[in-house]
Amino acid sequence: MRQNLAVGMSQQLGMTPQLAQSIRLLQLSSLELSCELRQALDSNLLLEAEDDEAELDVYSSEDLVEGSPMDPYAGSGSRRDSAEDDDSSRLAVADQRDVHMRIMEQAELAFSDPVDRYIACEICAATDDAGYLGATVAELAARCQVIGKIDAARVESVLARIQRMEPVGYAARSLAECLLLQLAERDGQGLEAVLLDVARRLVGEHLEDIAAKRWTALASSLSVGRDLVLRAVGLIRGLNPKPAAEGSATQYVTPDVRVERTDAGWRVRLNERALPRVRVNADYARAVESDKGARALRGQLQEARWLLRSVQVRQDTLLAATEAIFRRQAAFLSRGEVGLSPLTLKDIADEIGVHESTLSRITTSKYVQTPRGTYSLKHFFPSQLTAAEGVSASGASVKALIRRLVDAEPAEAPLRDVDIAAILARRGISIARRTIAKYREAMGIGSSKERLAARRMSGRDLGRRPELAAGAAVN
């Protein structure tokens, strides 16, 4: 056996506290970042709030706030009055990010190794608003290669610990895994062992039978009594199938970015009122740098500069990403939802030169105000549907087309799902009837029979109440 000693060079990125902070700030909403900046103002003597009149030179300089002109888009699109007023541009939405941030806070305490924290951050970024992991372990390991060689086993280990955090079942890869994780937490809570065992077997093997309420068949298959099956089903129904949706509350959000029409065309601007203006106190900074004994204050000065630099990176990336999105989704501004084209995170990440995980973070919990309303940035990444003859169509645009067709249909001859599918096919969009039904139900549109019955009922109501009929005629 021959032993050789070889010297090689490799390049990898170390996970420093400053890098971890920069990554974490990317995915914070404007509200969460505002709270963090205000806390920094209270705890760091070197930071101060800027006056509204002062020129902002840290992360909202004129170049950063104004952005750069974009190519003029075709069409005009009507502007809403609320676009002129920051206070009226807030949107009521269900804030799902609180659960994700709670997981990250627990991860910071649970993992002492910065690499494990980075993996946890990637897992959170890949988990959707229902709490389900949208990437495989292998894909997550590949994303983590920017900080070194990470194998799937290490990702799996971090994932297993995250799944047991509160809420239990977060980052599960399927409904069955989510429920099994929650059942595992019920051990030792005074429940009968046989009841837990039946519940686990039901979740692992018979979810479809539960949905179909085949109680007798389930009892026979599991060789237990029907009453025990029903008790186990009751236990399962008490679990949370959407862990990230728990505790969400309607909040008002302020758009982070605006798309406005100017004489030169459309322009993307950062909302300068979304975050408090913060800077390093120049006099204190000079005094600290000249005093060799002020070691503690020099640490605060370094922390302050890192924080502001991280915020500026966040703002630069957010602006660049939004500009790239609306270069691709220009038709939305003139045509609305029908104009949305299929778009992926990778498309925009490649265009602006960042990693796909970075783009995922910067588009999470960020909102853009457009002449057509305020939307989450994630709204502009619709999936692609099967299309014919080179026609590209997104799920969002197809939903908008379905809405238009239903709105314009004859009152006494509503379109069936098969009719809508045929119309879309003539426009080059091949889509199954069952997909039409799924989209229609998601938008709260009834079937053709339900719409016809509702219109006839409405007509009878108007006939019985002359004052309503008169009002309808006038309107």
Residue 190 pLDDT level (bands cut at 50, 70, 90): low
Task: Answer for the pair 436, 402: CB distance below 8 angstroms, yes or no.
Answer: yes
| Residue 137 burial (CB count, 10 A) | 18
Listed ranges 17-26, 69-78, 249-258, 338-347; the one with the highest mean pLDDT: 338-347
Residue 419 maps to a domain:
yes
Residues 218 and 272 grouped into a single domain: no
Task: Answer for the pair 266, 260: CB distance below 8 angstroms, yes or no.
Answer: yes
- How far apart CA 48 and CA 277 sit, in angstroms, is 9
- Higher confidence at residue 205 or residue 82? 205
pTM (predicted TM-score): 0.50
Q: Which stretch of 54-58, 304-308, 309-313, 359-363 has the lowest confidence by average pLDDT?
A: 54-58
Residues 405 and 466 grouped into a single domain: yes
Residues 372 and 408 grouped into a single domain: no
Which of 208, 239, 270 delimits the end of a domain? Answer: 239
AA identity, residue 248 = S
- How far apart CA 183 and CA 235 sit, in angstroms, is 9
Domain count within the chain: 3
Residues 367 and 280 grouped into a single domain: yes
**pLDDT for the residue 246:** 55
Residues 260 and 370 grouped into a single domain: yes
Residues 234 and 258 grouped into a single domain: no
Residue 426 maps to a domain:
yes
CATH code of residue 467 = 1.10.10.60
Q: Which of 408, 390, 389, 386 is nearest to 398 (CA)?
A: 386
- How far apart CA 323 and CA 267 sit, in angstroms, is 8
**pLDDT for the residue 16:** 65
Residues 288 and 367 grouped into a single domain: yes
Query: Mean pLDDT for the chain?
Result: 76
Residue 302 maps to a domain:
yes
- Higher confidence at residue 81 or residue 269? 269
Residue 385 maps to a domain:
no
| Average pLDDT of the segment spanning 202-220 | 86
Residues 258 and 221 grouped into a single domain: no
**pLDDT for the residue 471:** 37
- How far apart CA 372 and CA 204 sit, in angstroms, is 45
Residue 266 maps to a domain:
yes
Domain extent for 37:
17-96+251-377
Residue 132 maps to a domain:
no
Residue 390 maps to a domain:
no
pLDDT exceeds 80 at position 96: no
- How far apart CA 125 and CA 364 sit, in angstroms, is 8
Residues 230 and 255 grouped into a single domain: no
- How far apart CA 247 and CA 250 sit, in angstroms, is 10
What proportion of the chain, given as a percentage, has pLDDT over 90?
Answer: 12
Residues 273 and 354 grouped into a single domain: yes
pLDDT tens for 129-169 read 888 998 899 999 888 887 778 889 999 999 999 999 888 99
What proportion of the chain, given as a percentage, has pLDDT over 70?
Answer: 76
Residues 185 and 86 grouped into a single domain: no
Give the three-class secondary structure for 374: strand
Task: Give 449's Cβ-side CA count (13 Å radius).
Answer: 1
**pLDDT for the residue 461:** 42
Residue 393 pLDDT level (bands cut at 50, 70, 90): low
**pLDDT for the residue 5:** 58
- How far apart CA 22 and CA 45 sit, in angstroms, is 21
Which of 377, 408, 428 delimits the end of a domain? Answer: 377
**pLDDT for the residue 8:** 53
Q: Which stretch of 30-34, 130-134, 179-183, 314-318 has the lowest confidence by average pLDDT?
A: 30-34
Residue 148 maps to a domain:
no
pLDDT tens for 408-467 read 888 888 888 888 888 887 777 777 788 788 778 777 788 888 888 777 766 544 333 333
B/e letters for 404-443, b = 16+ CB within 10 Å, e = fewer, are: eebeebeeeebbebebbbeebeeeebebeeebbbebbeee
Residues 207 and 269 grouped into a single domain: no
